[in-house]
Amino acid sequence: MSSAAYIPDEGPRPGETESVTVRVPAKVNLALSVGPLRSDGYHDLATVFHAVGLFDEVNAAAADTLAVTCEGEGQVEVPLDDTNLAWRAAELLARTVGRSPGVRLHLTKGIPVAGGMAGGSADAAGALVACDALWGTGLSRDDLHVLAAQLGSDVPFALHGGTAMGTGRGEQITPVLARGEFHWVFAFAHDGLSTPAVFHELDRLREAAGEEATAPGVEDELLRALRAGDSTLLGAALRNDLTRPATSLRPDLRATLQAGREAGALGTLLSGSGPTCAFLAADAVAAATVAAALEAAPSVRAVRRALGPAAGAHLL
């Protein structure tokens, strides 16, 4: 046998890479406006996604079969079977390019599980980019975006990163002009919250109050604050329609939001469908003060500081 021959089980095929690692950011929705329930079970959204410097990493290594392992933040709550979004991403990519889905995916989590920061979506986006590189499939970013939208509403933004408008069910992404850097503090809760349960609670509360949901939209004030890179204006413009249903399901979140407000945050916000709470601070010193106050709050499990915006899924 020549030394160049491919030996199954002993490494990658010619042209393939042995192992690659992709870093993917968490997101917070600076605005989240939710329209009426659609016939397909989703809601039309107008949202401003903002990627922040809390990351998951996805390592993809050549293997004969598909397997997922995980370490880090919330690892025991992460499924390791075909319900894992990274697993589903690898399968979808393999099916699309007509190859076997053999890969070992190792997730290193920094994003809280079921925290409203799109950690599962980050892993799906990371697996798409990592497997594309490992397998040398050479798909374009547009091709990956189409696959991402099939995996979940938040997955396209995890590929994109930065600050961007999301419409449709959140999967249609348009960049937003944003200047400067923002200082964020995140308070993780003791338990996660289910995204469908929060949307369902919103519908229930609207129906009980006889409210008619209107077409979703983002206020100009928020876009102006981003264009100007003005933290004070941005803090005052933060909006999330899922705050009411999430705090209805988890009243302790009100105490978390209050603790950050009292510690001088310029703005307080539920991250996505929660339960993570996000606090915008004027600068690094103010962020440290807000973080210290939140660390003492009984409703808070852990506190992280991060800068935004952060880059989308990228190879290390």
Ligand X SMILES: C[C@@](CO)(OP(=O)(O)O)[C@H](O)COP(=O)(O)OP(=O)(O)OC[C@H]1O[C@@H](n2ccc(N)nc2=O)[C@H](O)[C@@H]1O
φ/ψ of 155, rounded to 5, equals -70, -40
Among positions 161, 192, 245, 312, the unique one binding ligand ADP when judged by CB under 6 A: 192
Q: Which residue is nearest to ligand X (CB)?
A: 272
Contact status: 112 vs ligand X (CB under 6 A): no
Least Å from the CB of residue 188 to ligand ADP: 11
27 labelled catalytic: yes
Among positions 110, 152, 245, 275, the unique one binding ligand X when judged by CB under 6 A: 152
Binding mask 167-186 for ligand X (x = CB under 6 A): --xx----------------
Q: Which does 78 bind (CB under 5 to 8 A by kind): ligand X, ligand ADP, none?
A: ligand ADP
154 labelled catalytic: yes
Contact status: 170 vs ligand ADP (CB under 6 A): no
Least Å from the CB of residue 151 to ligand ADP: 10
Contact status: 29 vs ligand ADP (CB under 6 A): no
Contact status: 118 vs ligand X (CB under 6 A): yes
Among positions 46, 66, 85, 144, the unique one binding ligand ADP when judged by CB under 6 A: 85
Query: 101 to 120, contacts with ligand ADP by CB under 6 A?
Result: 107, 113-120
Size of the site for ligand X (CB under 6 A): 20
Contact status: 240 vs ligand X (CB under 6 A): no
Contact residues for 76 (Cβ-Cβ < 8 A; gap 6+): none
Q: How far apart are CA 175 and CA 54, in angstroms?
A: 20
- Pick the catalytic residue: 56, 132, 154, 241? 154
> Residue positions in the annotated binding site for ATP?
112-122
Least Å from the CB of residue 78 to ligand ADP: 5
Contact status: 275 vs ligand ADP (CB under 6 A): no
Q: How far apart are CA 65 and CA 8, in angstroms?
A: 12
Beta bridge partners of 277: 187, 270
CB closer to ligand X, 135 vs 199: 199
CB closer to ligand X, 195 vs 247: 195
CB 170 within 8 A of CB 47: yes
Active site (catalytic) residues: 27, 154
Residue ranges that bind ligand X, judged by CB under 6 A: 29, 32, 41-43, 45, 47, 116, 118, 121, 152-154, 169-170, 195-196, 199, 272-273
Residue ranges that bind ligand ADP, judged by CB under 6 A: 78-79, 83-86, 107, 113-121, 123, 192, 195, 272-273
